[in-house]
Chain A
Amino acid sequence: MTQGTPIPTRLVTDLGKDELAPRRRFGRRQIVGIVFGSIGIGLLGGIAPAITSETRAFAFEPPPDPLSLQFNPKTIVIVIGIVYLITAALSFLPAKYDRWSLIGQIVATALGIPLILAISLALSAAPETNVINLLDQSLILATPIALGAMTGLWCERSGIINIGIEGMMLGAAGVGFMTYAIMGAASSPGWLWIAILVAILAGGLLATLHAVLSIRYQINQIVSGVVINLFALGLTGFIRSEVIVPSGSSKGVPTADIALPILSKIPIIGDTLFTGRPLHFLMYLVVFLTWLVMFRTAWGLRVRSCGEKPHAAETLGINVIKIRYQAVILGGFIAGLAGAWFSMEAQAGFEDNMTNAAGFIALAAMIFGKWTPWGAFAGALLFGFARALGSRLQFLDVSIGDFGIPSEFFQMLPFLVTMIVVAGALGRAVAPAAEGQPYTPSK
């Protein structure tokens, strides 16, 4: 028998069902709500009273006499401010209205773009700005970012981290243009396309290097990526000064505009959005095919399994090593295409470090999109827009009183919005589980 206090035996209590229901907690959603709420208060209390109530316009066609939308910036700011306050309120509703607060936050985020445009237009001297053009610029500048993000996607979904996208693009841009410069700048325009093909192959070659280092020799994948970046920087610097410049043709003719059939005939947007350069249009195809192959084919399923749990894939007879090589090299081809865009479409020429961190922004877009093709594409558009807006605002000459607001400030705003969204509304992004881990097959 036991000593001490008597042992309570056969004590039975009952327990109600309702006690097991989920409870509301203070989390990300609420923090984001507070952020939107504070912006809303700022808009209504600070910006709206100070802003001009003269009409401004968004134009949808080139001058003269464009189709345009007249608006009063003050009204827009007030309306959006109220929407933000509502969004804030929605995020404190009980858990079962979660959907509504998510919708509210997505809408609020999307309204960020007209808000920034309206405020900057109100502060600038120009009464109107062409939004279709701005959109077109955003799409064009998103091209290398979206392509780079697809590169990242193929590598990381197969389990290999790739921070060498930048280097793969740069190397491809340099080698591609070199081919064009020495072989055929002067002769036939067909050489441009051969040079683009060479760029794609060069991207694939650099990716093969990354694959061999990180799959075969199991070098830390970050280190291998850095090696690729440094190697490409040095190699292309050499190519430019020793090959391209002496060849005498350091400027060429970039890819020509094409007009997509039917689409380019759509009124207002057709002429601007669907008339453009071929690699840009190819980008949409690459994004679509990436999604299609990755999520709708057997090979895509295998690639994804290698990035999640390679040992499980192996127990089903899948050759993990082979799949990883294939995915990384495919990613390299896509990076090569992005490189070709820099040196043969955006302009025809090569400058040192002309990719200017687009490869890293592509990685950010990929993570923003939670490792999904369409998400990454959306991220690329956002970053493309940020860049287009920055250069637009330089011309608009925005100022508060006598103080000219530096365009960098506005360039920063979309990124700020992005951070809020990524941190809050979208929730945590989960990387492929086996990413970065070298794999040794069983023996």
Chain B
Amino acid sequence: MTVVDGPVPVLDVRGVTKTFPGVIANEDIDLTLNQGEIHCLLGENGAGKSTLVNVIFGLYKPDKGTVKVRGEEVKFAGVGEAIEHGIGMVHQHFQLIPVFTVAENVILGDELTNGPFLSMNEARRRIRELEEQYGLIVDPDAKVGDLSVGEQQRVELVKALFREADILILDEPTAVLTPGEVDDFFAVVRSLVDQGKSIIFITHKLREVLAVADRITVLRNGRIAGTADPATATQQSLANLMVGRDVVFQVDKGEAHPGEVALRVEDLSVEDERSVMTVNGFSAEVRAGEIFGIAGVEGNGQRELVEAITGMRRKAGGTVEILGHNATKLTPRKIAELGTAHIPEDRNKHGLVGSYSVADNMVLNKYSQAPFARRWVRNTSAVHDEAEELVEQFDIRTPSVDVPIDTLSGGNQQKVIVARELTGDVDLLIVAQPTRGLDVGSIEYIHQQIIDRRDRGAAVLLVSAELDEILSLSDRIGVLYRGRLVGVFDGADATREELGYLMATGSTPDTEEVAS
């Protein structure tokens, strides 16, 4: 018998099919994972990546197909059995309990006990061990709700490693991380591989894929679209394989023609939940027909700034003028009615109502206006028509506009918000992290839409943690540092290095000399 004497894959998925009502999320998927490798899974939003890994993790039961772990065929009745087989997963949406401590989150479900009682000391000891072994720094006694996203990410990894997982599934772990956190994260991933772990890694960031992957598999519409070799693949070739057409990375942007001032913010101060002035004396003007990008390391007041301008947060001082009206004390709804559209940073909290249908979410900002309502009575058929049109136009993958929006893939949820906010009369567009978690094709489309809006005379305030996004879209770039603009650049001649330095230190190299 001639057996190809390659390594036995630690994970071997054959012919997996998984359907949800109205959607074939996975169809006849084959996938292998070898010992000690990083296998990247790519695909558009809604391609079925999360579904596939949830099947492997035992959370979903496949309709057809088999999963073999280290050569042994498994049929998991639940997640518990997958964990016993050494599979660990970091979910796309964190599965942490905010009011528990790190240690409690880590041991939950696999508790360390001393007689009948929990042994938290033992838990702390084990967490410290993992910390040393893999460079995952976490405080076992911190409350998870108080941690930054990057720290929560580490807790998720510690959870998996604590259960002695050697097959790790990472579902878009870098989507919410800042550039610095991404570097730390990859350092950890490398140390994991060095110690013999095998990793399935899902991401939309092609640069990351080329940097870390040993093998690449691309999904499209629930099927395998192809595989690629990281040695020869390019970002362009991967993108084309994902989307099935040519993707343009460089946004095509004409000159800006700034007009009247649409947004004027003067000396704005805003407090966060802990009563810290995170926005402190912020002043800026955004004119009709220009995109003003705000760059800055996360946590320098971006969130509070956007919430204050859109009326969601109390202002401690200063004024906001929108389209010639004093908007300092207006409610979010009044501000929206002035002609402002807002794509919020936290889509689940501020952008969507999870249990409402896609259609209802599409009209959240105009449900009470004609034609969607006549006096107090809603016109559901108008809502329905509008939603179907937008789903078509923005290529949103959903079985129908009537399903609850939280059954959509993460990226498609984001597209619903973008579709809603970019339709209708918009004179001022406020966008925060508009393409977080989106695939390259969707990013291209949304960028084009934002520029389109600008060309039709809207003023755009863009806040993003992605420096590339800021650089490619903005006509002017402001750097936010500790709640205040520390520099404003012309979009055409700003450089990554210059912005990066200012973002990190709050000053440019020459002025620092003056100060010292």
Are B60 and A305 in contact (CB-based, < 8 A)?
Answer: no
- With A4-B258, A312-B95, A315-B95 already in contact, the answer to whether A301 and B118 are too (CB < 8 A) is yes
A298 within 8 A of B: yes
Are A305 and B287 in contact (CB-based, < 8 A)?
Answer: no
Are A302 and B515 in contact (CB-based, < 8 A)?
Answer: no
B488 within 8 A of A: yes
Are A15 and B80 in contact (CB-based, < 8 A)?
Answer: no
B484 within 8 A of A: yes
B446 within 8 A of A: no
B390 within 8 A of A: no
- With A8-B488, A443-B60 already in contact, the answer to whether A20 and B98 are too (CB < 8 A) is no
Sampled A-B contacts (26; CB under 8 Å)? A2-B257, A2-B475, A7-B488, A9-B488, A10-B489, A11-B485, A11-B486, A12-B486, A13-B485, A14-B515, A15-B482, A22-B276, A23-B271, A296-B117, A298-B118, A301-B107, A305-B108, A309-B97, A311-B95, A312-B97, A314-B59, A315-B57, A316-B79, A318-B108, A433-B98, A443-B61
Chain B residues positioned under 8 Å from A10 (CB to CB): 487-489, 508
Count class of interface residues, chain A: 35 or more
Are A305 and B100 in contact (CB-based, < 8 A)?
Answer: yes
Taken residue by residue from 311 to 327, chain A's Cβ proximity to chain B (1 for < 8 Å, 0 otherwise) reads as: 11111111100000000
Taken residue by residue from 1 to 42, chain A's Cβ proximity to chain B (1 for < 8 Å, 0 otherwise) reads as: 111100111111111000111110100000000000000000
Are B486 and A316 in contact (CB-based, < 8 A)?
Answer: no
Tell me which residues from 326 to 384 in chain A have a Cβ below 8 Å from any Cβ of chain B. Answer: none
Bound together, the chains give a CA A92 to CA B515 distance in angstroms of: 39
Chain B residues positioned under 8 Å from A13 (CB to CB): 484-486
Are B490 and A442 in contact (CB-based, < 8 A)?
Answer: no
Are A19 and B109 in contact (CB-based, < 8 A)?
Answer: no
- With A13-B486, A23-B271, A312-B96 already in contact, the answer to whether A317 and B511 are too (CB < 8 A) is no
B91 within 8 A of A: yes
Chain B residues positioned under 8 Å from A312 (CB to CB): 95-97
Tell me which residues from 102 to 123 in chain B have a Cβ below 8 Å from any Cβ of chain A. Answer: 104, 107-111, 113, 116-118
A308 within 8 A of B: yes
Chain B residues positioned under 8 Å from A442 (CB to CB): 54, 59-60
Bound together, the chains give a CA A347 to CA B118 distance in angstroms of: 41
Are A298 and B111 in contact (CB-based, < 8 A)?
Answer: yes
Bound together, the chains give a CA A372 to CA B486 distance in angstroms of: 47
For the complex formed, measure the closest distance between the CB of B23 and the CB atoms of chain A, giving whole angstroms.
Answer: 14
Are A305 and B276 in contact (CB-based, < 8 A)?
Answer: no
B290 within 8 A of A: yes
Taken residue by residue from 71 to 82, chain B's Cβ proximity to chain A (1 for < 8 Å, 0 otherwise) reads as: 000000011111
Taken residue by residue from 479 to 516, chain B's Cβ proximity to chain A (1 for < 8 Å, 0 otherwise) reads as: 00111111111100000000000100011100100010
Chain A residues positioned under 8 Å from B82 (CB to CB): 317
- With A3-B257, A23-B277 already in contact, the answer to whether A308 and B98 are too (CB < 8 A) is yes
Chain B residues positioned under 8 Å from A319 (CB to CB): 78
Chain A residues positioned under 8 Å from B508 (CB to CB): 10, 12
Question: Of all chain B residues, which has the CB nearest A311?
Answer: B95
> A: which residues have CB within 8 A of B?
1-4, 7-15, 19-23, 25, 95, 296-298, 301-302, 304-305, 308-309, 311-319, 430, 433, 442-443
Bound together, the chains give a CA A318 to CA B59 distance in angstroms of: 11
Bound together, the chains give a CA A314 to CA B80 distance in angstroms of: 9
Q: Which of A2, A8, A25, A301 contacts B275 (CB 8 A)?
A: A25
Bound together, the chains give a CA A17 to CA B107 distance in angstroms of: 39
Taken residue by residue from 60 to 98, chain B's Cβ proximity to chain A (1 for < 8 Å, 0 otherwise) reads as: 110000000000000000111111000001010001111
B382 within 8 A of A: no
A297-B118, A308-B99 given; 7 more Cβ-contact pairs under 8 Å: A7-B490, A10-B508, A13-B484, A298-B113, A308-B98, A312-B96, A314-B59
For the complex formed, measure the closest distance between the CB of A103 and the CB atoms of chain B, giving whole angstroms.
Answer: 21
Question: Of all chain A residues, which has the CB nearest B355?
Answer: A437
Bound together, the chains give a CA A20 to CA B279 distance in angstroms of: 9
Are A317 and B506 in contact (CB-based, < 8 A)?
Answer: no
Chain A residues positioned under 8 Å from B277 (CB to CB): 19-20, 23
Q: Which of B100, B258, B484 contacts A2 (CB 8 A)?
A: B258
For the complex formed, measure the closest distance between the CB of B147 and the CB atoms of chain A, giving whole angstroms.
Answer: 15
- With A296-B117, A442-B60 already in contact, the answer to whether A309 and B486 are too (CB < 8 A) is no
Chain A residues positioned under 8 Å from B276 (CB to CB): 20-22
Q: Which of A11, A12, A297 contacts B117 (CB 8 A)?
A: A297
Bound together, the chains give a CA A282 to CA B59 distance in angstroms of: 43
Are B275 and A23 in contact (CB-based, < 8 A)?
Answer: yes
- With A3-B258, A22-B274, A317-B79 already in contact, the answer to whether A9 and B484 are too (CB < 8 A) is no
Are B95 and A2 in contact (CB-based, < 8 A)?
Answer: no
B476 within 8 A of A: yes
Are A433 and B271 in contact (CB-based, < 8 A)?
Answer: no
Are B290 and A20 in contact (CB-based, < 8 A)?
Answer: no
Q: Which of B255, B274, B490, B507 contacts A14 (CB 8 A)?
A: B507
Chain B residues positioned under 8 Å from A20 (CB to CB): 276-278, 280, 482-483
